[in-house]
Every structure is written in structure tokens, then in C-alpha cells.
Amino acid sequence: CKYLCFPSVNLYYFNNEKSLKKFPLTIKVWSSFCSHIKLVDSHYCPSCLENMPSAEAKLKKNRCANCFDCPGCMHTLSTRATSISTQLPDDPAKTTMKKAYYLACGFCRWTSRDVGMADKSVASGGWQEPENPHTQRMNKLIEYYQQLAQKEKVERDRKKLARRRNYMPLAFSQHTIHVVVTCFLPFFLVTTLQQRLLQPDFQPVCASQLYPRHKHLLIKRSLRCRKCEHNLSKPEFNPTSIKFKIQLVAVNYIPEVRIMSIPNLRYMKESQVLLTLTNPVENLTHVTLLDTAKVGAFCLSLSDPHFPWTFRKANKVGIFIKVTPQREEGEVTVCFKMKHDFKNLAAPIRPIEESDQGTEVIWLTQHVELSLGPLLP
Amino acid sequence: MPLYEGLGSGGEKTAVVIDLGEAFTKCGFAGETGPRCIIPSVIKRAGMPKPVRVVQYNINTEELYSYLKEFIHILYFRHLLVNPRDRRVVIIESVLCPSHFRETLTRVLFKYFEVPVFISNNRYRESGCIASKLETQLLEQCTVDTSAAKEQSSLCSIVINYDLKRGLKIQAAKFNIDGNNERPSPPPNVDYPLDGEKILHVLGSIRFSCGNSFEQDNEEKSVATLILDSLIQCPIDTRKQLAENLVVVGGTSMLPGFLHRLLAEIRYLVEKPKYKKVLGTKTFRIHTPPAKANCVAWLGGAIFGALQDILGSRSVSKEYYNQTGRIPDWCSLNNPPLEMMFDVGKTQPPLMKRAFSTEK
């Protein structure tokens, strides 16, 4: 049968008793409890799609070893090669062609030569990020404070109050009297704030100081239930794969309510809306629709609690509901509860000797809110 | 590689250090030389045309909670790429940060992200209103070229943000280097490309007058008077040392010429009778920290967060928070018993206060 697609969204409420959280059906993750924890699963580079173990990611500060970002427009840099003729070491008269590599941006035309980086003789591995000039001083400072911290710890262990002590003067910082820069650079040679902030250690003002950085990695996340600690969603380890190892998504277990046709809705006029219910699981599911107390401002009472089905096809059932808008204008929203039985196939199977019941059947109730669109005058 | 990374891998994991500024957030790991990212403190929501500022002190708790939750989620899962549950968090906050904001942030971290431990560090907050003054001036006086015709720059409210500060090179020196009191000539006009077609013409005089936001306002208060007034409030014997060890932090102070202007203004004000009688000293020196001024506060937190020995005793654990439901403020002086493994009191001030300098 033909499916009419409406822009209205079906929303399910989660965990009705405790909190009303709406999730669009397609991205809801099923769990008997509402909140879930997100965990970092695997690191990978978005450009070369190479997986990186977390220890290495930590060492490389979450940056890819091979790929670079353009410091101007943040696009991925590509390595280009030119051939240059160089003199042979043995015989200065003869020349040979050698390859020289440089980085270039396909989008904004920036090249590594713009900042004075020399061409490298190897395609990858030759490019280095500059080091922070303050590293030495920083390390000394940390050492100094570590000493203070140790002293404090020792005193604390002795259960005495921390005494004030004379701090030794250390040749750490320098004073500078700043001189005003009176020369004004042409505008296009000054870096934008965004370009500057991408390099927190240097934040260069001049575009000629903008060096490329290694590309930042992305992660794949897995979700776990906060209460029962079950894994809800676990993606494949391979960065190129979009599949999931574990994927417990509501749409695979809970019957789906879709709107099939909406007649013209008018104030205080009863009209029939055609809905379909789709059963995603292989076993027979019993569904009961119950009226619910008014939740939103436009909720309306369903006039007939027993909804006759109109058609049935495979795992889909069509039902009519009678809708009477209670307000003169605005969006019409229908709320009801859907009670369905659910076989928990994920639960451990009991040994057959103990009981003959098979898997458990529990009844779940979902809040459904359907947005039927605006009222006609 | 930071020196103590090795120790961190053997024992505790390195702490996460977050500085939530009104304009930008600096975020990274303890013991490193700089933050991993500096991003605007905003989140983008589907329904709203403009990004939403996260650090707002006047919105209700629920909204703030959801903004903070989303923002911190981005920090952890896009920039830091670590699990929030595994690491301690050092938060750098302004001394004047309202309790409501602080408590909501704590709740987000402990309840939603389940961080194990939370430490807060204090920094002094710069005034953030300068940029809005710049905006209004630009809107009034600059014109925009589009391909069709010249339009008034009501259009540029889309674009104008702190980005303009960088190129505008606001001339902050009211006082000439030579010492005479002439106003220096204004900087040249600038053509700022907005996007493919539009060009914003910024008059040189606008660039110049933005610096005047730092001048004394109607009540004769400015950054310079702030410093001098604070000095007067300090005990007499400390004033000279404090005056010679000024630390200026914050992104606003990175305007070219800002520090020079500040010093010049201080020197000018010190001659006035109001200050001359009271302040004994006339030498003022500003430190050069080992990082850009917008990261210095973050750096203080990062160094503090690297001190594994005392970090445990100076922090609030998740268990303590779940028991008591509160997080002590920096100004609360009660000392709970040692069994709590927690010490309330003034947190360590950032690095500069203890570092003395020698003349070169």
C-alpha cells in the first residue's frame, strides 16, 4: 500500500514513571531505565581512517601521525611532489631528477612553502610540528610546585597545620615593558581569531607563522545503561565500518506507530485519522491502546477506546482513531498510551529442566505523542 | 611531551582542566604546556538561528543545566576524547562567579558525567563588555559593500564577534611613546571581507576609539584605577612588591598595545593627588607568563592539577558530594575533620604570585 509521508513526528516517552523524556523513535536506545552513559570506544583519524590504540592516541595528543590540517581553512592537506634537479654528489656536472614533497591545501591554496617550510625528500614522516618555546620553563615550574606539594603532604601526614614558610626567590619570570606596535600589517597577512585559536601554544598574529597541525582524531562511542550496566550500543572497531556489534535500538523491539492519513482537522469536528502499527519482532505481539490524561495543551480525548482495525498486511495493522480538536487554533497533538507485551530475548535462557515456560513475557507501556499538524480554519 | 606524563601513566590519570570563560573555553590536561583547544563557549541548537552562549548568569537552572550538559559533552567527546568517569576535573572559575552557576556546573559534572572528583581554582575575571561597545560603534558608522549597492551595516550583526578584534589592531595608546600628549594619528581604514560578496569598510577612527572603552568611564573607573584602588586596600608593606609583580590575564589584554596603555595610564594616575599621597611606590612591572594571556589562568590550573601528591586532599569527591549535596565555595573557611580527606579553604593561587623575578 502506498505510504503517505507526513512531516509529523512520532515521539515516545521513556520510562514513564520516573521522568518524561522524549526521544524520536529512530534514535532511541532501548533499556528498562532511561539514562545511559557514553563511553569512548576507539580513536580514528577522519581522513585516513586509520585506527589508533588509545595509548598511542594519548601519546600523540589525539592527533593523527600522517595527516595534516591546513592552518588557514582547516581542510585536510595533501602531499604533492615536484621534481627538482639536483647535482650528483660524485659528479657536479651531471644533474639528476629528485622528488621533493610539499604540503598543499586544495581548498584555499595554502602551501607549506608559504610559511617557509622546506620541501622534504620523503612523502610522509618528514613534517614536524614546532615545539612550544616555553616547555622548559613550564617543566621547571611544575618541578618547583611538586616540591612544595611534597612538603605540604609530609606535613599533612604529620597532622600539623601547614606552616607559612619563606619562599625562595627563583629566577623564573621576566618583566617586559611592551612597546606599541606602530606599524600596521596589511589586513590579509593577519591571522583570524579562529586560525589563531587552533594553535593555543603559539597563537601567531602573522599568517607567515601559521604552521600546519596534525589532524585531530575522532572517536566512536559506545553506550551503556547507567543502572544495569548492560551495553546498549557498541560500534564495530574498524573505522571504515558503520555497523554495530551490539545495537539495542527501540525501533527493533517496540511496535511502531505511524500516521497514514490525516483528514482536514477542524475545531470541534470529529474526524478519523488513519494510523498504522508495525510489529518489528517475529512473534505475535498484543497491543492495547489506552487513553491517557492530558499531557500537553492540545491533547484531546479519544472518543472510542476500542479501535477497530481497518486492514492488515504482513506485520502491519491499520487503525482509525477519532479525533476532536479542542482548541480553535494551533497544532493538534494526540496523546495515548500503548501497552504491549514484550518477550525479553536478551535475558539468559533458563535450563529446560527447571521450567517449561520459555522466555519471560512482560508488559510495557509507552507514551505516544502524535503531532497531526495545524488546524484548518 | 610534558615532564610528568610518564608518572601519570603509572599512577593516576592526568586530570582534565577546564576554564569556562564567557567568550571562550580553554580545555586540556594537567601538566601540559597549553590547552588542547580554545573554543567559543557556545552551543548550536537546531531551533535557534544564533549559537547559544553557555556561560550566562541570569538564566534559570534548567536551561543552564541543559546548556552546560551539552557543552561539556562536546568538550569531552570531541576535543578531549576521554571518558569523564576516569579523571579528576579542575575547574577554573572567576572569584566573582555566582554560586548558582557553580552549583549547576557541579551538578552536571557529578550527576550526569559522573566525574570522580572536582577541584576548583580561582582566577580574576576581566570585564567582558568591551566587545559589545565595539559592535555598536561599527553598526553606526561603517558601511558595507555588497555587489548590488552600499548598504548600512545592519547586516554585519551576523558576523561581528571577537574576530574583528584581531585585524582591527585597536590603537590603545592614548599616550605617545615620545611622551607628548598629542593623539597619535588614527590607524588606516580597513576593508574587512564578510563573505564572498560583502565587504565591511571599517573607519580608522572607529578602530582607534574602541580603545577608549578602557578609558575612564563616567565614574572615573578603569582597569588602571582598579589596580591602584586594590593596591591601596592592601597592607602598606606589601604594596611595593605587589606593584612590581602585576599579572594581567585574559584574552582582552591581548589587544596590541593594551599593556603599554595600561602602564602608561597607571603612571599618569599615580601622579594625581588621590594616589600620590597614599601609594608609596611608583614602580610598576608586569610579568610575562609562559603562555599567551588568554591561557594563563588555564595554565595555573594545569600546574595545580599536575600535583598528584596534594590533589587528593584538596578536592571534592563524588561520594562527598552525594552525601552532602553541596560544594564548598572558596570563601568558606570551615575545616572539616581530616577523615573527610578534604580541606576547604583558599585554593592555591595561580603560579605567578610566588614567582619572584630578578633584574636581567
The DSSP letter of residue B40 is E
Judge whether B91 lies within some domain: yes
CA distance A276 to chain B (A): 29
Report the CATH number at residue B115: 3.30.420.40
C-alpha span between B117 and B15 (Å, rounded):
9
The DSSP letter of residue A314 is T
Report the CATH number at residue A327: 2.60.40
CA-based torsion, A299, A304, A309, A315: positive or negative = positive
Judge whether A365 lies within some domain: yes
CA distance B305 to chain A (A): 10
Q: Check residue B331 and give its pLDDT.
A: 63
CA triplet B157, B160, B162: central angle to 5 degrees? 150
* Residue A306, pLDDT above cutoff 90: no
Instruction: From B327, B298, B307, select the one nearest B35 (Cα to Cα).
Output: B298
Q: Please report, as a single letter, which amino acid is at residue A72.
A: G
Listed ranges A178-187, A244-253, A326-335, B56-65; the one with the highest mean pLDDT: B56-65
CA distance B41 to chain A (A): 13
CA A16 to chain centre: 26
Q: Which residue of A has its CA nearest to B354?
A: A167
Instruction: From B73, B159, B152, B154, select the one nearest B114 (Cα to Cα).
Output: B73
* Most A-contacting residue of B4, B5, B73, B81 (CB-CB within 10 A), to test interface: B81
CA distance A348 to chain B (A): 29
Over residues B134-170, the pLDDT tens digits come to 334 344 344 333 333 333 333 333 333 334 444 333 3
CA separation, residue A150 to residues A157, B8, B122 (Å): 10, 16, 22
CA separation, residue B93 to residues B69, B206, B317 (Å): 17, 33, 18
Q: Check residue B26 and give its pLDDT.
A: 93
What is the Cα gyration radius of chain A?
33
Tallying the residues shown for chain B, one arrives at: 360
Q: Are the beta carbons of A297 and A254 closer than 8 angstroms?
A: no
From chain B, the residues in CB contact with A216 under 8 A are 79
Cell reading at A268: 470541534
Per-residue pLDDT, averaged over A307-322, amounts to 75
* Residue A144, pLDDT above cutoff 60: yes
Over residues B9-47, the pLDDT tens digits come to 446 788 899 988 888 999 999 989 899 999 999 998 887
From chain A, the residues in CB contact with B6 under 8 A are none
Q: Do A287 and A230 have their domain in common? A: no
Q: Do A119 and A263 have their domain in common? A: no
Judge whether A103 lies within some domain: yes
* Most A-contacting residue of B32, B164, B166 (CB-CB within 10 A), to test interface: B166
Binary contact (A142, B357; C-beta < 8 A): no
The DSSP letter of residue B286 is B
Is B346's Cβ below 8 Å from some Cβ in A? no
C-alpha span between B72 and B68 (Å, rounded):
6
- Which residues are paired to A22 by β-bridges? A13
C-alpha span between A334 and A291 (Å, rounded):
10
Q: Which residue of A has its CA nearest to B311?
A: A149
Helices B236-243 and B223-233, axial angle in degrees (round to 10): 150
Q: Are the beta carbons of B307 and A145 closer than 8 angstroms?
A: yes
The DSSP letter of residue A76 is B
Q: Do A240 and A278 have their domain in common? A: no
CA distance B358 to chain A (A): 6
C-alpha span between A210 and A204 (Å, rounded):
6
Judge whether A12 lies within some domain: yes
- Phi first, then psi: what are they for A48, rounded to 5°? -95, -5
What is the DSSP secondary-structure string of A212-244?
-EEEEPEEEEEEEETTT--EEEEE-SSTT---E
C-alpha span between A166 and A99 (Å, rounded):
62
Over residues A42-63, the pLDDT tens digits come to 899 989 888 888 888 888 889 9
Q: Do A331 and A273 have their domain in common? A: yes
Judge whether B242 lies within some domain: no
- Which residues are paired to B92 by β-bridges? B19, B121
Tallying the residues shown for chain A, one arrives at: 377
Q: Do A222 and A328 have their domain in common? A: no
Cell reading at A159: 597532622
The DSSP letter of residue A111 is B
Judge whether A91 lies within some domain: yes
Is B332's Cβ below 8 Å from some Cβ in A? no
Please, which contacts does A356-365 make with residues 24 or more away whose CB atoms are closer than 8 Å? A363/A339, A364/A254, A364/A339, A364/A340, A365/A16, A365/A290, A365/A337, A365/A338, A365/A339
CA distance A200 to chain B (A): 6
Q: Do A230 and A325 have their domain in common? A: no
- Domain of residue B38 covers 16-126+293-340
* Residue B119, pLDDT above cutoff 70: no
Collapsing DSSP to helix, strand or coil, A42 comes out as strand
Q: Do A279 and A365 have their domain in common? A: yes
Judge whether B55 lies within some domain: yes
Q: Please report, as a single letter, which amino acid is at residue A106.
A: G
C-alpha span between B360 and B342 (Å, rounded):
42
Cell reading at B79: 576535543
Judge whether B256 lies within some domain: no
Judge whether B165 lies within some domain: no
Binary contact (A138, B290; C-beta < 8 A): yes
Number of inter-chain CB pairs under 8 A, A vs B: 160
Q: Do A301 and A323 have their domain in common? A: yes
Judge whether A29 lies within some domain: yes
From chain A, the residues in CB contact with B26 under 8 A are 200
CA distance B263 to chain A (A): 9
The DSSP letter of residue A117 is P
Instruction: From A111, A107, A46, A115, select the one nearest A73 (Cα to Cα).
Output: A107
Binary contact (A184, B188; C-beta < 8 A): yes
- Domain of residue A112 covers 63-123+192-216
C-alpha span between B237 and B280 (Å, rounded):
9
Binary contact (A175, B357; C-beta < 8 A): yes
Overall number of domains in chain A:
3
What is the DSSP secondary-structure string of A138-183?
HHHHHHHHHHHHHHHHHHHHTT-PPPP-PPPP-S-BEE-PPPP--S
What is the DSSP secondary-structure string of B302-339?
HHHHT-HHHHGGGSEEHHHHHHH-----TT------GG
Per-residue pLDDT, averaged over A252-257, amounts to 78
Judge whether B183 lies within some domain: no
Q: Check residue B213 and give its pLDDT.
A: 59
From chain B, the residues in CB contact with A172 under 8 A are 355-357
CA distance A190 to chain B (A): 6
Over residues A271-291, the pLDDT tens digits come to 888 888 888 777 777 777 766
CA-based torsion, A61, A67, A71, A76: positive or negative = negative
Judge whether A128 lies within some domain: no
Q: Do A322 and A370 have their domain in common? A: yes
CA-based torsion, A147, A148, A154, A157: positive or negative = negative
Judge whether A134 lies within some domain: no
From chain B, the residues in CB contact with A141 under 8 A are 290, 303, 351, 355
C-alpha span between A239 and A254 (Å, rounded):
30
CA triplet B341, B347, B350: central angle to 5 degrees? 140
Instruction: From B106, B85, B107, B113, select the one nearest B13 (Cα to Cα).
Output: B85
A135, A145, A221: residue with CB nearest B33: A135
- CA atoms within a 13 Å half-sphere pointing along the CA-CB vector of A201: 16
Over residues A153-177, the pLDDT tens digits come to 787 777 655 454 444 444 455 555 5
C-alpha span between B177 and A177 (Å, rounded):
12
- Chain B, 193 to 252: residues with Cβ < 8 Å from chain A are none
- Chain B, 55 to 84: residues with Cβ < 8 Å from chain A are 73, 77-83
The model carries a pTM of 0.75
Binary contact (B285, A175; C-beta < 8 A): yes
CA distance A219 to chain B (A): 7
CA triplet B67, B71, B76: central angle to 5 degrees? 150
Could you tell me what percent of chain B has a pLDDT over 90? 8
Q: Do A38 and A114 have their domain in common? A: no
Binary contact (B2, A141; C-beta < 8 A): no
Q: Do A81 and A210 have their domain in common? A: yes
- Identify the band that residue A216 occupies on the pLDDT scale cut at 50, 70 and 90: very high
Binary contact (A197, B39; C-beta < 8 A): yes
Binary contact (A173, B166; C-beta < 8 A): no
Q: Do A109 and A223 have their domain in common? A: no
Judge whether B96 lies within some domain: yes
Could you count the other beta carbons within 10 Å of the beta carbon of residue B50? 10
pLDDT, mean over chain A? 72
C-alpha span between A285 and A254 (Å, rounded):
10
From chain B, the residues in CB contact with A58 under 8 A are 9
Q: Check residue B71 and give its pLDDT.
A: 93
Judge whether B323 lies within some domain: yes
* Most A-contacting residue of B194, B354, B360 (CB-CB within 10 A), to test interface: B354
Q: Check residue B286 and give its pLDDT.
A: 81
Overall number of domains in chain B:
1
- Identify the band that residue A93 occupies on the pLDDT scale cut at 50, 70 and 90: confident
Q: Check residue B291 and give its pLDDT.
A: 85
From chain B, the residues in CB contact with A219 under 8 A are 77, 81
Lowest mean pLDDT among A360-374, B59-73, B193-207, B244-258: B193-207
Cell reading at B224: 588602571
Binary contact (B33, A143; C-beta < 8 A): no
Judge whether A335 lies within some domain: yes
Per-residue pLDDT, averaged over B170-190, amounts to 48
Listed ranges A95-99, A251-255, A290-294; the one with the highest mean pLDDT: A95-99
- Identify the band that residue B209 occupies on the pLDDT scale cut at 50, 70 and 90: low
What is the DSSP secondary-structure string of B59-75?
S-HHHHHHHHHHHHHHI
Question: Between residues A376 and A203, which one has the greater pLDDT?
Answer: A203
